[in-house]
Amino acid sequence: MELNGIKPAAGAKHAKRRVGRGIGSGIGKTAGRGHKGQKSRAGGFHKVGFEGGQMPLQRRLPKRGFKSHLLKFNAEVTLTALEQLGLAEVDILALKQAGLVGQLAKVVKIVKTGELTKAVKLTGVGATAGAKAAIEAAGGSIA
């Protein structure tokens, strides 16, 4: 085999469709654009969502909701996850290493979902009122 003899596989390459090249091609005359109208003309097109001057759908519907861009820095950890972690002292770094919170997380809060039986000391981690009560009942503390 020589470099000058290399060819693509059979059927891998095909000729580009040439529109507007006569009646025999099957796509001559209007070249697949139909008859008249804005879409048939060169350079004649409108922006996405344009409805011919009618008030567009995205402007007819009410604005709703809000998503804070700071959400990616907040994280939640359940009591069940703390129980499974099995550490005596927990901080944000330990949670990141265990994969319970994302690497971007800056604020971590413990939420009361599940049960906690082991005593856990939390440092630099927040907790909801219910979670705090559950942690202290298990003999843990929050600093």
What sign results for the dihedral spanned by CA atoms 74, 78, 83, 84? Answer: negative
From CA 90, how far away is CA 100, in angstroms rounded?
A: 12
pLDDT band with cut points at 50, 70 and 90 for residue 108 = very high
Q: What percent of the chain has pLDDT over 90?
A: 87
Mean pLDDT of 32-42: 92
Mean pLDDT of 101-117: 94
Question: What pLDDT does 143 receive?
Answer: 83
pLDDT score of 129 more than 90: yes
From CA 106, how far away is CA 128, in angstroms rounded?
A: 17
Question: What pLDDT does 53 receive?
Answer: 93
From CA 112, how far away is CA 90, in angstroms rounded?
A: 16
pLDDT score of 135 more than 90: yes
pLDDT band with cut points at 50, 70 and 90 for residue 60 = very high
Residue 109 pairs with which residues in a beta bridge? 76, 126
Mean pLDDT of 24-51: 91
From CA 91, how far away is CA 80, in angstroms rounded?
A: 16
Q: Which residues of 93-102 are buried (b: 16+ CB within 10 A; e: fewer)?
A: eebbeeebbe
What is the average pLDDT value for the chain, to the nearest integer?
Answer: 93
Cβ neighbour number for residue 32 with a 10 Å cutoff: 12
Mean pLDDT of 70-96: 93
Q: Which residues of 38-63 are buried (b: 16+ CB within 10 A; e: fewer)?
A: eeeeeeeeeeeeeeeeeeeeeeeeee
The domain ranges of the chain are 19-45, 71-142
- The CATH code belonging to domain 71-142 is 3.100.10.10
- What are the start-end ranges of the H helices in the chain? 57-60, 79-85, 92-98, 129-137
Q: What is the pTM of this model?
A: 0.55
